[in-house]
Structure 1
Amino acid sequence: MKIGVYSPNWIGDAIMALPFISELRDQNPNAEINVICKDWVSGVYEENPAINEIITIKKDSINNIIGTLKTGWRLKLRNFDQFFTLTDSFRSALVLRISGSNKRVGYKAQMRSFLLTKSFHRSNKRIHRSRKFLKMLKIEQNVISDPNIYISEKEKIWAKNEMKKLKLNKPVAIFPFSVAKNRSISNSLIKKWIKNSKSNYLIFGSKDDAIKGYSLINQCKKNSIKSICGKYSLRQSILLMSLCYYSLAADSGLGHVSAALGLPTISFFGVGYPDKTGPIGKNTLIIKHCSPCRGNDCENISNKISCIKQISKSEIELYVSNLLKM
């Protein structure tokens, strides 16, 4: 049996798809499972023993109807017996239909159900995205297995050598940036939290974050801090991340990666709902805070929501200490 899985397009969502892929393998131990994904998220799936092949789609190759048709025709050659889409887009369902797979599975969305052979209703309740994916495999339990990222021995050697070139030993990873500005952590907060620290810090981010990374370094001149924003691929960044001590993360895909690696992770979650899209991991602490900050006009009285501006360095140190004991 050949099974295709059309991956989510965002790094965090791809991480949340990993329990689905693991369960899919458990239910189909002898199947050939292929993951179809945008090239920028493929690093999440590399070395995963549940996956036989990763089929990548270039960023600009599917942005129009011609590209979508070509992708479907390309996948038709794969002869998938069953094909899941983990995105709710019309385009992904059209790709599944063109692929010719006899069993095409996904959620009802964007009037695309006629393109699928099995379509699920989205829950009216707020459930974690990992659970949403798993429901397509008839998995209903509330407890979600942790996502796992796999790293080969060869990759571990590369990461150790690369970290030596950076002249760092178990640095603290910082992921302060996000696609949405209101999900990012300000330079002033990072500066406050790491003030007078003797630790080494390593800033991760995309090429678009490079200038912001250097800006953060300039504000933290008294700290040992470096930026590798845009200098490595996602996969290489994952390998370097695995050697870090712990991480401070904005609500971003890299926060999900850190949690999936088992790295002690403090995730600052402003916009949205952590119980729906928060990172999952045994060593992960999610701090829900107001966003945007309303300053003196704030009316938040919930004990479950923090004011990020009032979180002190000592509180961060306590959070880290508790995580490292887990």
Structure 2
Amino acid sequence: MKILVIQKKFMGDVLVTSTILPLLKDKFPDSEISFLLEEKHAQILIENPYINQYIFFKDSFLKTLSEVKAQNFDIVIDLYSKIETGVLALLSGAKTRIGFFKNYTQFFYTFPVKRATKLKSKNTTFAIEHRLQMLESLGIDFQEAFPKIYLSKKERENAHKILSENGLSTDDNLVMLSTFGSSEEKTYPIEYMAEVINYISLCKPNSIILCNYMPFQKGLFEELNNKLSEDSKKLVITNFETKSLREFAAVTSLCKCLIGNEGGATNVSKSLNIPTFTIFSPQIQLIDWAWTSNSKMDRFLHLNDFVQNSDNYLDFKPTYFKNELREFLNKTIA
């Protein structure tokens, strides 16, 4: 049996989609699973043992369709469920086609799935459970499942090398910081993040803070660093950087915890089972992305937990969650 899973883009969506792969393999142990996505998002899936083949979207629809049709898939599961991928599923030749129900795409699928409006587990989210719903058409009942990132021995060895080049080792109390969000509106105000770092240094002066940020955010990091106390500056490794998502994941796997803005970094951390303290921006809801396989350690904070009916990030003052942060640090750092 040949199965095609489609999730075109976005790292977080691709990562969450991977939750269905082991369940498919368990149901159909002799199946070959292919994953169709944009090539730039594939690195999050490297080393995943449940994927037999990657197929990348081409520069034209017809080229992509030609490759999909040539594979003779038995089952297509379209997690992206847009017109483009719906047509791909319809024309793929697969007898079983599963996708999300929408007025304009339902005709592409043999099983159009209507998204559930209630969660079945307190540890999962709609982002996960809606994907797991796709499997019910194949006789796979709901069970908790979570994203997982797989690292190779070589990647782990390289992570140790990166630490060594910065005068660090796993004996240090390493704290990875998700310093900024992917956009300005998803970024915790810089002056507040400076307070968070100062509080970390006050609670755990024996910690070392690795600040993760994109190259285009270097100016923002310098602005943030200038706002830190002198004691905090001593704990922050200012010249630390990783060259790729895989390097970041490997280094994060050696840290005691990750703290900071919700987004790709926090999803990577949770997928590595590293304790994660997540600050959600006002427009992102906990019910969508606050999943955890480590509920005793992970913490998720949203503005509306403290200030109801506000969507102003400036209302989310660090003083509101200092107790939660201190408790988290005490659990993760000796």
TM-score (ref. length: structure 1): 0.83
Please give the residue correspondences for 1:85-96 in structure 2 after superposition, counting only pairs within 5 Å. Answer: 85-96=78-89
- Deviation string for 1:157-180 (max 9, x for gaps)? 121112212333342111132234
Q: Match of 1:137, SS?
A: helix
- The whole-number CA distance in structure 1 between the counterparts of 2:87 and 2:333 is 46
In structure 2, relative to structure 1, the CA distance for the partners of 1:237 and 1:40 (3 Å cut) is farther
- The whole-number CA distance in structure 2 between the counterparts of 1:148 and 1:260 is 4
- Deviation string for 1:220-240 (max 9, x for gaps)? 362332467985221222112
Instruction: State the 1:269 CA deviation.
Output: 1.9
User: Quick one: which amino acid aligns to residue 130 of structure 2?
Assistant: K
* Percent of pairs with identical residues: 22
Query: 1:130 is matched with which residue?
Result: 128
- The whole-number CA distance in structure 2 between the counterparts of 1:229 and 1:93 is 43
Query: 1:14 is matched with which residue?
Result: 14
Q: Is the 8 A contact 1:106 1:136 kept in 2?
A: yes
Task: Find out whether 1:280 has 2:278 as its counterpart.
Answer: no
Task: Find out whether 1:238 has 2:249 as its counterpart.
Answer: yes
In structure 2, relative to structure 1, the CA distance for the partners of 1:313 and 1:239 (3 Å cut) is same
Q: Is the 8 A contact 1:246 1:263 kept in 2?
A: yes
User: Quick one: which amino acid aligns to residue 207 of structure 2?
Assistant: S
Higher mean C-alpha deviation, range 259-268 or range 308-317: 308-317
Please give the residue correspondences for 1:1-326 in structure 2 after superposition, counting only pairs within 5 Å. Answer: 1-7=1-7, 9-57=9-57, 61=58, 67-109=60-102, 111-125=104-118, 128-138=126-136, 139=140, 141=142, 144-170=144-170, 171-195=174-198, 196=201, 197-220=205-228, 222-226=233-237, 231-270=242-281, 271-282=283-294, 283-290=297-304, 307-311=316-320, 313=322, 315-322=324-331
- The whole-number CA distance in structure 2 between the counterparts of 1:42 and 1:239 is 16
Higher mean C-alpha deviation, range 48-57 or range 80-89: 48-57
How many residues are matched? 308
- The whole-number CA distance in structure 1 between the counterparts of 2:25 and 2:317 is 41
In structure 2, relative to structure 1, the CA distance for the partners of 1:227 and 1:253 (3 Å cut) is farther
- The whole-number CA distance in structure 2 between the counterparts of 1:111 and 1:230 is 44
Q: Is the 8 A contact 1:19 1:144 kept in 2?
A: no
In structure 2, relative to structure 1, the CA distance for the partners of 1:242 and 1:121 (3 Å cut) is same
In structure 2, relative to structure 1, the CA distance for the partners of 1:73 and 1:123 (3 Å cut) is same
Q: Is the 8 A contact 1:266 1:286 kept in 2?
A: yes
Q: Is the 8 A contact 1:192 1:312 kept in 2?
A: no
Q: Is the 8 A contact 1:265 1:285 kept in 2?
A: yes
- The whole-number CA distance in structure 2 between the counterparts of 1:108 and 1:41 is 25
Instruction: State the 1:85 CA deviation.
Output: 1.1
- Deviation string for 1:246-291 (max 9, x for gaps)? 1013121221110110101001123232122223231421112249
TM-score (ref. length: structure 2): 0.81
Q: Match of 1:311, SS?
A: helix
Q: Is the 8 A contact 1:205 1:229 kept in 2?
A: no
Q: Is the 8 A contact 1:202 1:228 kept in 2?
A: no
Q: Match of 1:29, SS?
A: coil
- The whole-number CA distance in structure 2 between the counterparts of 1:100 and 1:231 is 42
Instruction: State the 1:219 CA deviation.
Output: 3.0
In structure 2, relative to structure 1, the CA distance for the partners of 1:217 and 1:74 (3 Å cut) is farther
| Alignment RMSD | 2.8
- Deviation string for 1:135-159 (max 9, x for gaps)? 1111554x62232211121221121
- Deviation string for 1:56-107 (max 9, x for gaps)? 34xxx55xxxx22322222222222211111132222122234333322111
Q: Is the 8 A contact 2:128 2:146 kept in 1?
A: no
Instruction: State the 1:134 CA deviation.
Output: 0.8
- The whole-number CA distance in structure 2 between the counterparts of 1:29 and 1:243 is 33
Higher mean C-alpha deviation, range 308-317 or range 117-126: 308-317
User: Quick one: which amino acid aligns to residue 135 of structure 2?
Assistant: L
Q: Match of 2:73, SS?
A: coil
- The whole-number CA distance in structure 2 between the counterparts of 1:168 and 1:79 is 51
Runs (5+) with no aligned partner, structure 2: 120-124
- The whole-number CA distance in structure 1 between the counterparts of 2:89 and 2:238 is 40
In structure 2, relative to structure 1, the CA distance for the partners of 1:229 and 1:74 (3 Å cut) is farther
User: Quick one: which amino acid aligns to residue 240 of structure 1?
Assistant: V
